[in-house]
Structure 1
Amino acid sequence: MKIIKNIRSSYSLLAASALVMVLILGACKEEDEINVGPPTIERVRSTDPTTADSAFTSATLGSTLAILGNNLLGTQQVYLNDYPLGVNTAYVTNSTVIVTVGDSVPTVATDPNVPNTLRLVNKAGEAIMEFQTLPPAPQVLQVKNQYVKAGDELTLLGRYFFFVDTVYFPGEDVYVTSGFETNAAGSSLKVKVPANLDFSEGQSIRVVTKSGGSATNRNTQIYAGKGMVADFDTNGALAWPWDWGWGMSGDMIKPSQPGISGLEGNFGGMNQAFPASHGWNNDKVINLVNWGGAQILPEGEGYEPSAPAASFDIRVEIAVNTSSSIEGLELQFWYPDVNGNELSYNVPLSNFVRTTDGSWYTISANLSQLSNGSTRLSTYGDFLAGNFDENGNIIHQLRLVVVNTTSNDIQAVLGVDNVRVIRAIN
């Protein structure tokens, strides 16, 4: 009886093995029957269902593509400009292959001699079609100097400034289509500011290339002429009858300093060895305050007291001339609130100032970043409220301080201009 059971068990195993072999052979036969010839490509489209009827002849890095054709099952590799994309069999059918265009694929922007082809390979052959790989849409990460006017050269810093078609400025039909200057890395774009800027239409710059258009945000704004606190030229609330009328020595308010030329008229200058380890001296401070109590901060339309503090930036132009590294130099924005809390925020100069040849750069700090522990400004009205002096009189004050966090003095000439508060987010 035991022998019979073993025979039956062996027979069952043999039958099961035979069934598995039939299934495997059937699957192989099915694939062989489907792949009767080399692959063909009919068209390429996006994986977005709304583009089902579209046909692409180009795509940008980072795109996901659906390749449509015949005999695609068993695809071994897909190449763009002879660079392998990698194929996941889970995304392969006989009529579709889905692939992603990685950032390492060479493009016409970085290599004008690329073949501009898409090539699909399986064991029966290959299919090739003309297909152009482009860099992604441009990204504006920084407007080098936001204080510009018509006729000035504007420099944008960012990524993918290739094949620039148009740069749009604030205003209706205010744009430039020629005269662009870009670097080989696509990280810098220079353009002449056109006339007829209209800031009622917004404040941002937008770059359009063959790959698409850049997004607009608080980093793409230029100065719209509102919110000035100190320009070191005009008289107003900040003109005091004493030697430090702009919160710094009058000897340092000039149209030029060694290695630095003014943007427009005078600017505040600092020429010294900035003291190490947070050391102090008065000449590295710009203390903007009206001891008489008059408001020095912008008010009116766009500066509603109920608006969130996070909607506003303090911005200032900075130029540095030095042969030393500025790593460790910071610009501190300091403000005493109505309760006597000293709120501050330090910005490393190297976050914005890319060169130390006397060129001007815009540095920005959001009002909500000024803090003392957990204490922050909540609304713009908190910023307008000001503080009290030692005699209990209301004053309004904003201070800028250059801080050296390193253990060695740093010799540098530094220019400061156009201290302002702007509405960065509506």
Structure 2
Amino acid sequence: MKKLLNKANSHLLLVLLATLFFIQQGCKKEQSPSTSKGLPVINSIRNYVASPGDSVLTSVGTGKWIVISGSNLRGALQIYFNGVKGSFNDAWFSDTSAIVLIPEVIAFPLVEESQLNTIRYVTNHGETTFSFPIVAPAPTISGISNESANPGDSVKINGFNFFFIERISYAGVEVTDFKASSDGTSISMAVPATVSTSGPVLVRTKSGADTTFYHVHDYVTGVLNNYDAVNNFSWGSDVSNSSVDFPGNNGNYGIMKASNVPAGNGEWWGGGRSINTNDAQWVAVSHLQDTLSTYALKFEVAVKKPWLNGTIQIVRDQNWDYMALYRPWRNANGSATAFKTDGWQTVTIPLTNFLKASLPASTLTELLGQEGKGAIKFMFVNDGSDVVSNFEAAVDNIRIVKIR
């Protein structure tokens, strides 16, 4: 019995020693130098996606993850695309491959000719430059600064990748006099003098085109109240048409006012602090099966006096369950920056921002009811800890718009 136990123990010891040996060998194999030797070499660029998408590329756009294939690629210090630094983690690199994120924004018009279509790879043991087509993606329109601007007024088309622009159409009228920002995120222009009807905005570049789903200068579709042709205003704020007080207006508009409002005061119904309309159709019954996220509340606003605290609460009818908040002075990190506008500007609040216990409705019917209509209320309250000394905001063209 003892011999049997001794033999079993001996076998166990041998197994343990063999296991330790292979572990040590594996560790030795895994220990590779943190940097390569010799000049880096780039052979090809591949997609950083699962097969079969990880094919060799012949060109690439901005904001893409790629894999650089070659040799001596460890020890990277910087990787430039058209002269702009990419993002990477050298810990992900091997000697023959490097995973890199191309910059989201490259100001193509400002890139020196010698840097166009180049990848410059800099390491602690040398560098190389690889010629490779880096193209601007197709443009994307994210919004129009003032969808109701009058002919001749200045507007901005906001978005991304406005490079090498070939054509702009604004409400069906061609625009030839414009200026694109160097980073491709905006186009400044004047509303054409011949704009007379509503229509979409189109931007075409060498890389593609984008067109707004909605129309600018549309004073009919989805309008709940504009104080003029569609006047559902019931009570609350003052109404004016002064182009001296708020230049660039389209006829009548509402003016919400509040002064010396104590902290925590929610008496929105007094002193012209609210806009209250009669019933209006938010979404046609035939479209109540559409996805909630495809619709937004829009309106134009003009604020001349710095707005630093207080909130406009927005609800449908007396349904206080779902509420949207408009407080443009509040930054994403919770800090405050006094808000003013340079004339009128368009505000877009997706219907998914009408929240109940911090959650949006799951359907349009849940938010708007079976008939898809109701009144709308804009209510100014002081939900902060400081006195609101002087608040004033002009509001016009309140509407529900299908945004995609």
CA deviations on 1:253-275 (whole Å, 9 max, x unpaired) are 223353x1243212122455262
Distance (Å, rounded) in 2 between the aligned partners of 1:367 and 1:108? 36
- State the partner residue of 1:4: none
Give the equivalent residue in structure 1 for 2:345: 361
For residues 104 and 385 of structure 1, the distance between their equivalents in structure 2, rounded to whole angstroms, comes to 40
2:223 equivalent in structure 1: 228
How far 1:157 sits from its partner (Å)?
A: 3.5
Q: Could you give the per-residue CA deviations for residues 34-65 of structure 1, whole angstroms, max 9, x where no partner exists?
A: x9x86654554544656846433x642x3233
In the alignment, structure 1 residue 285 sits paired with structure 2 residue 274: yes
The question of 1:319 aligning with 2:308 is answered: no
Rounded Cα–Cα distance in structure 2 between residues aligned with 1:83 and 1:121: 11
| Structure 2 CA distance for partners of 1:329 and 1:43, relative to 1, 3 Å | same
Q: How far off is 1:342 after superposition?
A: 6.4
- With 204-213 and 268-277 compared, the bigger mean Cα shift is at 204-213
Contact 2:107 2:184 in 1 (8 A): no
What TM-score, normalized by structure 1, do the two folds share?
0.62
User: Of the two, which has the highest radius of gyration?
Assistant: 1
Instruction: Indicate conservation of the 8 Å contact 1:274/1:403, yes or no.
Output: no
Q: Does 1:297 align with 2:285?
A: no
Choose which of 323, 346, 369 in structure 2 pairs with 1:382: 369
CA change 1:399–1:86 in 2 (3 A) is closer
Distance 1:55 1:401 in 2: 56
The AA in structure 2 aligned to 1:421 is: I
Distance 1:422 1:100, change over 3 A: same
Q: CA deviation at 1:314?
A: 2.7
Q: Which amino acid aligns with 1:360?
A: W
- Post-superposition Cα deviations, 1:193-243, rounded to whole Å, max 9, x if no partner, equal 5678997xxx764645567666967xx76464302222112376x3xxxxx
Task: Go from structure 1 to structure 2 and tell me whether the alpha carbon gap of 1:307 and 1:354 turns closer, same or farther (over 3 Å shift).
Answer: farther
Q: Distance in 2 between matches of 1:120 and 1:108?
A: 19
Aligned-CA RMSD value? 5.0
> What CA deviation, in whole Å up to 9, does each residue of 1:56-90 have, x standing for no partner?
3x642x32334455xx2465436323858657476
Residue-by-residue CA offset, 1:278-321 (whole Å, 9 max, x unaligned): 353231222212xxxxx533575x76455565554332211001
Query: CA–CA distance in 2 between the matches of 1:148 and 1:84?
Result: 39
Is 1:399–2:381 an aligned residue pair?
Answer: no
Q: 2:313 aligns with which of 326, 329, 332?
A: 332
Query: What aligned pairs does 1:240-279 form with structure 2 within 5 A after superposition?
Result: 246-248=234-236, 252-256=239-243, 258=245, 260-273=246-259, 275-277=261-263, 278-279=265-266
**Match of 2:101?**
101
Q: Deviations over 1:313-370 (max 9, x none)?
A: 3322110011x3x232322213335xx7665332213379996245212223344544
Unaligned segments of structure 1, at least 5 residues = 1-8, 239-244, 290-294, 387-395
Q: Residue 212 and residue 266 in structure 1: after superposition, are their counterparts in 2 closer, same or farther (change >3 A)?
A: same
- 3-state SS of 2:148 partner: coil
Residue 419 in structure 1 maps to residue 402 in structure 2: no
Q: Work out the CA distance in 1 between the residues paired with 2:136 and 2:162.
A: 9
CA contact (8 A) 2:108 2:163 kept: no
Instruction: Summarize the Cα distance change of 1:274–1:287 in structure 2 as closer, same or farther, 3 Å threshold.
Output: farther
Alpha-carbon separation, structure 2, partners of 1:83 and 1:249: 52
Q: Within 2, Cα distance between the matches of 1:212 and 1:346?
A: 36
Aligned to 2:144: 143
1:415 positional shift = 1.0
Quote how far apart the aligned CAs of 1:418 are: 0.9
Match of 1:348 among 327, 337, 342: 327
Query: What is the rounded CA distance, in whole Å, between the counterparts of 1:371 and 1:104 in structure 2?
Result: 32
Give 2:221's aligned amino acid: K
| CA–CA distance in structure 1, aligned partners of residues 144 and 229 of structure 2 | 25
Structure 2: where are the runs of 5+ without partners? Answer: 1-13, 332-336
Deviating more after overlay: 181-190 vs 347-356: 347-356
For 1:105 and 1:378, the matched residues in 2 are separated by 36
Moved more, 370-379 or 146-155: 370-379
Query: Kindly, what percent of the aligned residue pairs are identical?
Result: 17
Opposite residue 63 of structure 1, the aligned amino acid is K
Q: Report what 1:55 is aligned to.
A: 58
**Correspondence for 2:8:** none
Judge conservation of contact 2:259–2:388 (CA < 8 Å) in 1.
yes
Q: Which residue of 2 aligns with 1:180?
A: 178
Q: For residues 108-127 of structure 1, what are the structure 2 equivalents within 5 Å?
A: 108=108, 112=112, 115-116=115-116, 117-120=118-121, 126-127=127-128
Matches of 2:87 and 2:352, distance apart in 1: 44
